[in-house]
Amino acid sequence: MADPTVHDVPQPIRDGHGATDNGPRNTPMDIQNPNLLVPPKEDAGTLPNMKFSFSQAHMRLDAGGWAREVTQRELPIATTLAGVNMRLKPGAIRELHWHLQSEWAYVLEGSCRISAVDQEGRNFLEDVTAGDLWFFPRGIPHHIQALADGVEFLLVFDDGEFSENNTFQISDWFAHTPRSVLAKNFGVAEEDFDSLPESELYMFNGPVPPALGSDRIVSPAGDVPRSFKHNLDSMTPVRTSGGTARIVDSTNFTASTTTSAALVEIDPGAIRELHWHPSNDEWQYYVSGRGRMGVFANSGHNRTFDFRAGDVGYVPFAMGHYIENTGDTPLRLLEMFQAPRFEDVSLAQWMALTPGELVRHHLNLNDKVMASLRKEKQPVFRP
């Protein structure tokens, strides 16, 4: 029987290179990141970090639930998008607020009610459940309130410097406006504001709201012209030999003008093909399963990162990459872009649509590889 310490603790050794690490070491993290500890021999050069887990992010605990964020502060390469993971207890309210950035959201569990009012006085009120998205344009005020089952969701903002701790809260503004000004603004007496909260509420407990119909207010200006709600999980996916993809951008969720996404599911053993994006950097959120991503940064630079549920990944603009399912369950992730359209370039499609002899002479490819290219005229994740 193998010595359990040798068997359980991975060592930074590959083909006679490296040596044992006898400590000090953070063994659980080494086990979670096998491709950092023992990189594939093809990995080379210095690249910025492209992984940060929500599990390493500070939790903001409040009466109504919790929130944590992975922004440019946690993951410095992530300049285009920032993410917040939040949970609200049944009835709890993420208070009425607005911010500089647009907000794209994916409901992970449970359900909530969301509202917004736009610059034309048109309003929006809907309930969303697991698998739904919402999108609020920058500067538009909104709220989130959990329904009877509570809710957990991912928020994605179109600026890496966003912070959930720097939003404009209605209670904060009231607390910092002289009572005399409030009295004039609302046409009432100063004493009418005696029970205002003294500071911002942020996330606080409340009663589960009534049925949606009885909560609606009809605006004289009507509803928002493009719904801020979309169901992602019920979209018919693009199906391929290795998994599925649901692509959502401004063409099918027209309100989402600044953020696009693909919800990708990769079967055990399969890969999200070698590709890159001609639009912008890619921000990733791993929903379930395990995988690894190899990133090619030109000039011989390449690095491989491991991911599991709750991790954030990032790929700088135009860098080539693949994602391989290294677990035994489907690997589910969101690929997100600060761009109105989802766009990618498939390596195989590029090669298939370029004169064959030219391609062959670059890479000394045999007939078998050349024949496989002819089947690759369609990129893997596009309808």
Nearer to Mn ion among residue 38 and residue 323 (C-beta): 323
Give the shortest CB-367-to-Mn ion separation in angstroms: 30
Element (H, E) at 116: strand 103-117
The encoded tokens of residue 293 equal 């991503």
Q: What is the C-alpha to C-alpha distance for residues 152 and 109, in angstroms, rounded to an integer?
A: 5
Does position 74 bind Mn ion by CB under 5 A? Answer: no
Question: How many residues contact Mn ion, by CB under 5 A?
Answer: 2
- Least Å from the CB of residue 32 to Mn ion: 22
321 token code pair: 């990459």
Q: Is 164 in the site for Mn ion (CB under 5 A)?
A: no
- For Mn ion, the closer CB: 52 or 337: 337
CA distances in angstroms from 353 to 24, 373, 374, listed in the order given: 52, 9, 8
Catalytic residue among 69, 265, 273, 335: 335
| Stretch of 12-20, 96-104, 194-202, 350-358 lying at the interface with Mn ion (CB under 5 A) | 96-104
CA distance 177 to 172: 9
**Exposure on the CB side of residue 260, measured as CA atoms within 13 A:** 19
**Long-range CB contacts for residues 136-141, cutoff 8 Å, separation at least 24:** 136/102, 136/103, 136/228, 137/102, 137/255, 137/257, 137/258, 138/99, 138/100, 138/101, 138/102, 138/258, 139/98, 139/99, 139/100, 140/98, 140/116, 141/96, 141/97, 141/98, 141/116, 141/117, 141/170
Nearest to Mn ion of 282, 311 (CB atom): 282
Bridge partners of 18? 13
Instruction: Name residue, tokens 């949970």.
Output: 87
Burial of 283 (0-12, 13-18, 19+ CB in 10 A): buried
Question: Contact region for Mn ion (CB under 5 A) — 7-15, 37-45, 101-109, 373-381?
Answer: 101-109
Taking CB under 5 A as the rule, does residue 265 contact Mn ion? no
Is 335 one of the catalytic residues? yes
Q: Which of residues 274-293 bind Mn ion (CB under 5 A)?
A: 282
What minimum distance in Å lies between the beta carbon of 81 and Mn ion? 13
**Nearest residue (CB) to Mn ion, 37 versus 96:** 96
The single residue among 74, 95, 103, 118 that binds Mn ion, judged by CB under 5 A, is: 103
- Comparing CB distances to Mn ion, the nearer of 336 and 373 is 336
Residue 118 sits in the site that holds Mn ion (CB under 5 A): no
- Identify which range of 21-29, 41-49, 95-103, 123-131 contacts Mn ion by CB under 5 A: 95-103
In the complex with Mn ion, the residue whose CB is nearer, 103 or 158, is: 103
Q: How far is the CB of 5 from Mn ion (least distance, A)?
A: 38
Q: Binding of Mn ion at residue 95 (CB under 5 A)?
A: no
Tell whether residue 159 is a contact of Mn ion (CB under 5 A): no
Shortest distance, position 239 Cβ to Mn ion, whole Å: 18
**DSSP β-bridge partners for residue 291:** 307, 325
How close are the terminal C-alpha atoms of the chain, in Å?
51
Query: What minimum distance in Å lies between the beta carbon of 71 and Mn ion?
Result: 14
Site residues (vs Mn ion, CB under 5 A): 103, 282
Residues annotated catalytic, as ranges: 335
